[in-house]
Amino acid sequence: MRVATLIKSMDNSTENVTPDESDLFLQTVPRTYVHRAGVAEVFVTGIQQIGPDHFRLGAQWPRSHSYYGPVARRWHDPMLLAETIRQAQLLIAHQAYDVPMGHQFLSHDATHAIAPEGARLRDRPAHVLLDVRCTDIKRRGKTVSGYVTRIDCLRDGELIGSGSMTVTCLPPNLYRRIRGSACENTPQRNLPEPVAPEAVGRHWGFDVVLGVTGVNRTWTLRADPDHPVLFDHPVDHVPGMVLMEAARQASLAVLERPDALAVAMDCVFDQYVEFDKTCVVTATQATPGPGGSHTVAVEFAQGGAIAATINVTAIAS
């Protein structure tokens, strides 16, 4: 599903689902179910099974966050939606499909889109209902080995956004066989110089994931393993959320609007981004779209191949 389709579905949906706050929004789910070390990084708060492969999940977005903080003091950061979708598909895997803990999850593609009004900051945290349907379910023996999640997001009964993700679930032995010695990879601490934080919507260089190259619309990926949010726990490759943040920062730099709201992303992940090779991040010029939006295509190249492509759609504040 692509960004244009997501936005169209938001405009045309007639389903009105009202969340049951007493069941879905009382507390966060156990952090291990969404592969987080820090409790503060858990946004999903509950799950209900509605029918075969149909679920509703609650999520709470804080009004302030150490990394995904308010945009232009007006909106929740849409990256909260991206992370919520990531956590939702993990919770469904472990809770509904009995995928064992310790399995690794490979994302092939991911999309999300949100209406600006749906991201608006209000006088309390946002309670977001995720209406999730899983399709194309694959199994390895009796264990689910992959599926596609398609998600509608509602706030106060109103559809505010949607998303999707395609994942493969790998048991530890198969993951080690596929990754080989790369399973032992660790992040590099010799990081490139960050671009100016104020150019990419950040206040401190520590939060910047793009390194200076001196070439127009081209950077190196800057993945700091000591960052407590982007690297919440040890991993052997650059997480997809880091790539999405790099794409967001690249689009803001191209637009020269660090306070722009990145309302949609369309991601394709073709291979792992490794720690031991330079990853070059390249962005196109912005393409104008409807409603004052602009889209920037961002590529991640490593080892002579395209590892990921992310299209970012943003609107100026």
Q: How many CB atoms lie within 10 A of CB 291?
A: 9
Determine whether 215 is exposed, middle or buried from the number of CB atoms within 10 Å of its CB (0-12, 13-18, 19+): exposed
Evaluate if residue 20 carries a pLDDT over 90: no
Res. 208 pLDDT band, cuts 50 70 90: very high
Evaluate if residue 63 carries a pLDDT over 60: yes
Chain centre to alpha carbon of residue 260? 18
Average pLDDT of span 281-289: 96
pLDDT at 22: 58
Q: Are 122 and 168 in contact (CB under 8 A)?
A: no
**Backbone torsions φ then ψ of 44, nearest 5 degrees:** -80, 135
Q: Are 281 and 310 in contact (CB under 8 A)?
A: no
Secondary structure E strands in 84-217: 104-114, 126-140, 143-155, 158-170, 210-211
pTM for the predicted model, two decimal places: 0.93
pLDDT at 21: 53
For residue 193, give the 3-state DSSP assignment: coil
pLDDT at 16: 43
Res. 4 pLDDT band, cuts 50 70 90: very low
Q: How big is the chain, counted in residues?
A: 317
The predicted-structure confidence for 92-146, as pLDDT tens digits, reads as follows 999 999 999 999 999 999 999 999 999 999 999 999 999 999 999 999 999 999 9
Ramachandran category for residue 214: left, alpha or beta (phi over 0 → left; psi -120 to 50 → alpha): left
Identity of the amino acid at 192: P
